[in-house]
Structure 1
Amino acid sequence: MTDSKTIGVLVVEDEEIPAEAHAEYVRRIPGFRLAGIARTGTEAITALKVDAGPGSGSGSGSNTGSDAGQGIDLVLLDMNLPDLHGLDLLRRIRGAGLPVDVIAITAVRDLAVVRGAMSGGIVGYLIKPFTFSAFSTKLTTYAEYRRRMGEQAASTTQSEVDSAFAALRPTVATPLPKGMSGETLEAVADLLKRAPSPLSASEVSAELAMSRITARRYLEHLAEEQSVLRSPRYGTRGRPELEYSWRW
């Protein structure tokens, strides 16, 4: 790990658009910097070994848009990679003794995979699709955990250990506006993620069997969270209708 005041993040994601979106999210969170993007498990393990080896300030071999040469502290790991399963990569990271923390960021909801990731020592698991707010919360709680661990001496106490781990599990979730539900928000986000083209509030309401007003409210919330791109749809009569698309 680096002693830098900022936390270096390696994004491991094979799909180009999500990889760039996650990289941009990292750039937007104070205290974090993008250390690199790896599109395969092999690229990731190579980048980590170069970073941890002699002259680790040289940075990774896959640092698209990154602040090269400042070290990797945290890996954002997708489970579906073209050459390795995320769990296999996690085992290789641990087996090599590489001093990095790992947060799984994946669409995989299989309980066996979640348990395997936990057994492998991840510090967080974020299921796609998600909003920028959820992503930011996951990383900022990790930063607090890291800060508390860094403040401890070589020999620690039970209360200090409990305090550090408690930082990874905030007791209060990011509140939604009154009258909005997390399940409905996830359904709208998932629909936009799967849609081949931008959708209007009317189209979302028809797909999810909700009123247009309700659909518009959830879409506007996602737009305010900067998880969704909002733009006018031209070619219709009257005022242009707004359409929404997932950022990645």
Structure 2
Amino acid sequence: MTPPPIRTLVVDDDYRVAAVHAAYVEKVDGFTVVGQAHTAAAALDAVTELDPDLVLMDVFLPDGDGLTVVRSLMDRARHPDVVVITAARDMSTVRTAMQLGAVHYLVKPFGFAALSERLSAYRRLHLRIAGLPGEADQTAVDELFGILRSQPASARRPAKGHSAPTLELVRNAVRTAPDAVSASDVAESIGISRATAQRYLSYLESYGVVRLQLRYGSTGRPEHRYSPA
């Protein structure tokens, strides 16, 4: 028997962004969007009315803080799981989201692939929990926590024309750099051409493994720089 879809509420202050994220969710197997909300008050009302399984929660809302909404939800006897989706990158916000029990934290902007990977991991967790008996041994507990922590499968399987060792070298070059790096920086640090570095960086960025930042100078085109997602 096919399990019912995971009923998802999308919360974002920007109507257009909310619509994009809702469209992303609908494209992921096993999910359906039951509503959208654009304020903290509307989010609380929507959870009460719609009883979603999962909420994609923005932090910056016009009438309050999305994490305050999450805190209110977690105080309820029955509450949805939460994926925080925000432009906030400060560690205080990240730490608070973790302490409140958010199952994932996605930094805007991101593409469909990044959200799809995390939703798919959440669905695997959802199904695995449903299939376990009333008690879990340590092996089962480790498995459950590992489902959400695992690296996205698509980033572990390079597309045609991409070498797995080179992909890992590029990823590590970004991860260990003290600041955001350019394709030229990566190329020099691991000994590949700038064009090759750019191709691998673009691939990793499309899957949400690295984050693209545009650095504008006084003239000319903006420089593409990358940091860990």
TM-score, normalised relative to structure 2: 0.70
Q: Which residue number in structure 2 is paired with residue 39 of structure 1?
A: 38
CA distance in 2, matches of 1:86, 1:112: 14
8 Å CA contact retained: 2:85, 2:108 = yes
Q: Distance in 2 between matches of 1:155 and 1:25?
A: 35
Q: Where does residue 122 of structure 1 map in the other structure?
A: 102
Change (3 A) 1:17 1:138: same
Match of 2:127 in 1: 147
Distance 1:4 1:10, change over 3 A: farther
- 1:13 Cα deviation from its structure 2 partner: 0.4
User: Hey, which of these two has a bigger chunk of helix by percent?
Assistant: 2
The separation in 1 between residues aligned to 2:17 and 2:154, in whole angstroms, is: 23
Is the Cα–Cα contact under 8 Å of residues 34 and 50 in structure 2 kept in the other structure?
A: no
Question: 1: CA distance between counterparts of 2:50 and 2:224?
Answer: 50
The alignment partner of 1:163 has SS state of helix
Aligned to 2:49: 50
SS of alignment partner, residue 206 of structure 1: coil
- Superposition pairs of residues 123-202 of structure 1, within 5 angstroms: 123-172=103-152, 174-175=154-155, 178=162, 179=196, 180-181=200-201, 182=204, 186-187=211-212, 191=214
Match in the other structure for 1:74: 54
Residue 116 of structure 2 aligns with an amino acid whose one-letter code is S
The equivalent residue for 2:6 is: 7
The DSSP-based 3-state class of the residue aligned with 2:32 is strand
Q: Which residues of structure 2 form unaligned runs of 5+? A: 163-195, 215-219
The 1:8–1:110 alpha-carbon spacing in structure 2 relative to 1, beyond 3 Å, is same
- What is the identity percentage for the equivalent residue pairs of Structure 1 and Structure 2? 35
Say what the alpha-carbon RMSD is for the aligned residues. 2.5
Question: TM-score, normalising length from structure 1?
Answer: 0.65
Post-superposition, which runs of at least 4 consecutive aligned residues in structure 1 deviate over 3 A? 171-174, 176-179, 182-186
What is residue 218 of structure 1 aligned with on the other side? none
**Is residue 148–residue 163 contact of structure 1 (8 Å, CA) maintained in 2?**
no
Shift of 1:51: 3.3
Matched ranges for 1:104-123 at <5 A: 104-123=84-103
Take 2:39 and 2:90, find their aligned partners in 1: how far apart are those partners? Answer: 21
CA distance, structure 2, for counterparts of residue 37 and residue 137 of structure 1: 21
> Does the 8 A contact of 1:48 with 1:98 survive in 2?
no
Residue in 2 that maps onto 1:30: 29
Count of residue pairs brought into register by the alignment: 175
Give the drift of 1:131.
1.4
Partners of 2:112 and 2:47 in 1: CA distance:
26
